[in-house]
Amino acid sequence: MNASQPPPVATLAFDGAAFTHRGHTLLKPTTLRLSGCQRTLIMGPNGAGKSLLMRLAHGLLPPTSGAVGWQGTAPTQAMVFQRPVLLRRSALDNLTYVLAINKTLRPALNRTAGHSISRKAQAMQALDKFGLAHLAQRPARVLSGGEQQRLALARAWLLNPQVLFLDEPTSALDPAAIKAVEDAVLEFHRRGTRIVMSTHDLHQARRLADDVVFLHNGHLLEHTLAKQFFSAPASREASAFIRGELVW
């Protein structure tokens, strides 16, 4: 662990939060507390409401009933999407863009040495960290899937978030690229970033999870420590899911 401990991250609270779209309740009323600085994995089959839960947590969508909010000061956040959304610019420009945005939106929080190191140099450092330095001038959208996701991670890295949301970031990647993303997630966590990540990959969850939130058909069925979830799941759906049976 690093000597300079980051300040504790505020607790994310779902209070009876539900989401209904065109008469379909996609997330049933949910109460959940995410606190501490651990790695939480949101699990469940496709259509369980994982992505929706992440979007509500990140504030991209408001719940249609109930409340989602931070107890205390809202932390700085970033999100990495299943399909990375990259600007139609070079890899390097994708990174200098967020530095420019971040500087004007959150000047007080810009604790990185923005004055001594230019944006371009910061962006190059991030590219280098994620093994993309040789692709700096390449248009972001012609990069491979794995490279694009690493660029999205580099972008999040520059934002230096206290909480990082990742929505099935590896679902379209090959094993080598998955390894790179998982290493990056651990690296974020080492730097003191709280991780909230969704996946339907059991092995990945076993590798990364401190605690697990299990969703099924818009129901939050479990929120337990990873060890307990994998050894003794409480719900019938979760145990079937862990055994690899079809639960939907």
Partner 1 sequence: MLTSDNAFSTALALILSMDSALISIVMLSLQVSLMAVVIASLLALPLGAALALWRFPGRNAVIIVLNALMGLPPVVAGLCVYLLLSRAGPLGSWGLLFTPTAMVIAQVILVLPIIAALTRQQIETLHGEYAEQLQSLGLTRPRMIPTLLWDARFGLLTVILAGFGRASAEVGAVMIVGGNIDGVTRVMTTSIVLETSKGNLPMALGLGIILLILVTMINAIAHMIGETAKKRLG
Which residues of this chain interact with partner 1, rule CB under 8 A?
Answer: 55, 58, 60, 77-79, 81, 85, 87-90, 97-98, 101-102, 105-106, 138-142, 159
- 76 Cα distance to chain centroid: 13
In angstroms, what is the minimal distance from the CB of 145 to partner 1?
Answer: 15
d(CA 16, CA 11): 16
Residue placing its CB nearer to partner 1 in the complex, 30 or 102: 102
At residue 164, φ and ψ (nearest 5 deg) are -120, 125
In angstroms, what is the minimal distance from the CB of 73 to partner 1?
Answer: 15
Q: 216 near 45, Cβ under 8 Å?
A: yes
* Nearest partner of 53 among 183, 185, 217, 169, judged by Cα: 217
Residue placing its CB nearer to partner 1 in the complex, 57 or 242: 57
Instruction: Please report which residue ranges of 106-235 form alpha helices under DSSP H.
Output: 119-129, 145-159, 175-190, 202-208, 226-231
* Nearest partner of 163 among 36, 45, 52, 16, judged by Cα: 36
In angstroms, what is the minimal distance from the CB of 59 to partner 1?
Answer: 8
In angstroms, what is the minimal distance from the CB of 206 to partner 1?
Answer: 28
- What three-state secondary structure class fits 234? coil
d(CA 189, CA 94): 23
In angstroms, what is the minimal distance from the CB of 87 to partner 1?
Answer: 6
